[in-house]
Chains A and B, each alone.
Chain A
Amino acid sequence: MDSIKSEQADSNFRSELAKQPGGEIFSTCLMCRTCTATCPITKINDKFNPFRIIRLALFGLRKEIFTSDFIWLCSNCYACQERCPQGVNIPEFMSILKNLAVKEGYAPAGIKAQMNFIKGEGRIYPMDEFDNKKRNKSGLPSLPTSCEVVKGLFSEEKDSERDP
């Protein structure tokens, strides 16, 4: 495990996280590593280590968290949250970090692409005519290749941002 570079710490990061809904309890982490020992993602890829991410956040290493892709590996299975003896809701905490990362423009390319797919097509995996041909061959009806309702939602959101 790499050492934590405390000289890069942002002292405001911790309080900024604590102000987010659900973020107030993460500082009660007592470093027992139950979350990491329980995590099915860590078993496959130890770059994702919930205990280490909480420590990085507590030390204020904002940039290290946001520029890495590890927060995006959380599968939201809630195994860690069920086991945590301090009641820290770690998946919720990961969501807070993801939201802040997006706000600050740090989302990885793959996530950005998915966001754009949802905005444009209403789905993470867009449908096209080729998919519909395959469906028709199996006797299934065609599905719409775009989702106007979702497009509408995003434009409504933009409108409300303009007119609070």
Chain B
Amino acid sequence: MSTSKIIECQLAIIGRGMAGMASAFFAANRGISTVQIGITGGTIFASGFLDLMGVHPIEEKKSWRDPWAGIEALIRDIPNHPYARVKKKGIRAAFEEVLSFLKEVGLPYYRRKERNLEMITPLGKVKRTYCVPQTMLSGVRALEEKRPCLLVGFRGLNDFSARQIVATLQDKWPDLRATRISFPDADHVSELFTGEIMAQTLEISKNRKKLIQAVCPHVKDAQAVGMPAIFGMYRTQEIVKELEEKIGVPVFEIPTMPVSVPGLRLNDAFARHLSLKGVRHFSQSRVLEVCRGPNGSFVLGIGNKTTEYTVRTKGIILASGRFWGRGLYADRRRIREGIFDLPVYQPRDRKGWHREDFLDSRGHSANRAGLEIDDSFRPLDSSGQPAFETLFAAGSILAHQDWMRMKCGSGLAIATAYAAVNAFLRLNG
């Protein structure tokens, strides 16, 4: 392994998704010298909602109004679920720390501590979640009270149809209307894509004026106006305030299909904070080599295609995700962990990975595969002991959870990152 560019740190975080970002965030806040390695994570596809606990048991599709009661039921029924090892107190503390930070950096979230909220999705479904960006709050209230409401779509933005949302919700929300207008400064292009370029267009005052002029004639009796989530990248609160003042009714953002601006905002808020806190990150990097150093430490070779840096670290948090993040991969016979070749909890053979029906509401065993851990979030070896003293794991790579169907993705990432960082401190402080 090359020794030309050596970086020493206490903790290396492998992963750049929500769990990786949250791990680096908690580590940096605790003064741990940290390096983060990974390719852009799935946060840029996330709706911006922060789910805590939505559905359990998934076989019954039982949806929980009170996420904490849902967690209690979940831990009772699935005692190996990662939430069982964080405990409610830890989950609450983890959320407090993340939400305070997001508020400080101008990305405030709204929640009702003891119950889930409901918000519309870009497909016109109603989704239960724990926290929504403040920019979506008026949408939550309009949906609750079924107020007369206008949804605005844009010509050329083919992934977002206000008409489709209205058509899907018309039985539940009869006073919902849709309209479609031109997006400012976009007459010269045939197709629009949600993402930072669209969001940045609205950072410019003259474009907001054009948008307001185009929306106002359609408002009529509407008591709230919803638009796809593209109200700027950095000055979102100011933009919403200005739109509300000029349009004269509450204005809210609706999540979009990927690429998601609320997801990008979350990703960038973490990235900026981590950079300010001195967390070193190597853009689009992967772990290419790993070996043991002295006294239980690790030596990682990292780079994009070839090893560019050597990282010497006391501990590692593995937050490399499941299949999409390449934390796990499946060969012809087994599901494997990609970096340390750790044992992966999984069905006995390939036949057991999936049920016959892809859309089976009970989910698939492959979606609960992952790393088994001890109470300190250390992955276990085949004998049931921690594989390494200072290797921890967080997020969707953990076994015994199906975060997509259980609607607990963000909560799982944030809470397990919190627990893994605290365990590292406890064992190595």
Q: Is A22 an interface residue (CB 8 A)?
A: yes
A87 to B42, CA, bound (A): 12
**Please, what's the 1-or-0 string for A28-64, where 1 marks a CB less than 8 Å from any CB in chain B?**
0000111011111011111000000000000000000
> For the complex, is A82 an interface residue (Cβ under 8 Å from B)?
yes
B196:A37 contact, CB within 8 angstroms: yes
The number of A-B residue pairs with CB atoms under 8 Å apart is: 65
Name the B residues within 8 Å of A36 (CB-CB): 193, 195
Most chain B Cβ neighbours within 10 Å, of A43, A85, A89: A85
B258, A46: Cβ atoms under 8 Å?
no
Q: Are B197 and A34 closer than 8 Å at their CB atoms?
A: no
A1 CA to B305 CA, complexed, in Å: 34
A37 touches B284 (CB 8 A): no
- Binary B-proximity of A103-135 (CB < 8 A = 1, otherwise 0): 000000000000000000000000000000000
Nearest opposing residue in chain B for A32, CB measure: B258
Q: Is the CB of B305 within 8 A of A22?
A: yes
- Docked Cα-Cα span, A87 to B41, in Å, equals 10
What mask results when residues 13 to 54 of chain B are scored 1 for a CB within 8 Å of chain A, else 0? 000000000000000000000000001111011000000000
User: Measured between alpha carbons, how far is A44 from B201 in the docked complex, in Å?
Assistant: 12
| Also in contact, A34 and B191, with CB within 8 A (given A81-B284, A85-B39, A85-B44) | no
Chain B neighbourhood of A8, CB < 8 A: none
Task: Please report whether the interface of chain B is mostly helix, strand, loop or mixed according to DSSP.
Answer: loop
Q: Give chain B residues whose Cβ lies under 8 Å from the Cβ of A1.
A: 190-191
Report if A84-B195 is in contact (Cβ < 8 Å); known contacts: A32-B259, A34-B258, A43-B189: no
Q: B196 and A84: CB pair below 8 A?
A: no
Bound CA–CA A85/B286 (angstroms):
12
Q: Are B259 and A84 in contact (CB under 8 A)?
A: no
State whether the Cβ of A86 lies closer than 8 Å to any Cβ in chain B.
yes
In angstroms, how far is the closest chain B Cβ from the Cβ of A58? 19
- Assuming the contacts A83-B44, A84-B40, A85-B45, asked whether A33 and B286 have C-beta atoms less than 8 A apart, the reply is no
Which of B231-283 touch A at CB < 8 Å? 258-259, 283
Tell me the smallest distance from the CB of A68 to a CB of chain B, in Å.
Answer: 16
Contact at B44–A34, with CB atoms within 8 Å?
Answer: yes
Chain A CB within 8 A of B168 CB? no
Flag if B189 contacts A42 (CB, 8 Å): yes
CA distance in complex: A83, B41 (Å): 9
Q: A86–B304 Cα gap in the complex (Å)?
A: 11
User: Which of A37, A43, A85, A89 sits near B40, CB closer than 8 Å?
Assistant: A85
Q: Once the chains are docked, how many angstroms separate the CA of A94 from the CA of B177? A: 44
List residues 363-421 of chain B with CB under 8 A from any CB of chain A: none
The CA of A34 and the CA of B89, in the complex, are separated in Å by 37
CB closest residue in chain B, given A85: B40
Which residues of chain A are within 8 angstroms of B198 by Cβ–Cβ distance?
37
Which 3 pairs from chain A and chain B are nearest by CB?
A37-B195, A37-B193, A46-B189
What are 15 inter-chain pairs, A to B, with CB distance below 8 A?
A32-B258, A38-B196, A40-B197, A42-B197, A43-B201, A45-B188, A45-B189, A46-B191, A82-B40, A84-B40, A84-B284, A85-B39, A86-B39, A87-B39, A89-B284
Question: Which residues in B have some Cβ–Cβ distance to A below 8 Å?
Answer: 39-42, 44-45, 188-191, 193-198, 201, 258-259, 283-284, 286, 304-305
Other than the given A38-B197, A42-B193, 12 more pairs (CB < 8 A) read A1-B190, A32-B45, A34-B44, A36-B195, A37-B194, A37-B196, A37-B197, A38-B195, A44-B188, A83-B44, A84-B39, A89-B284
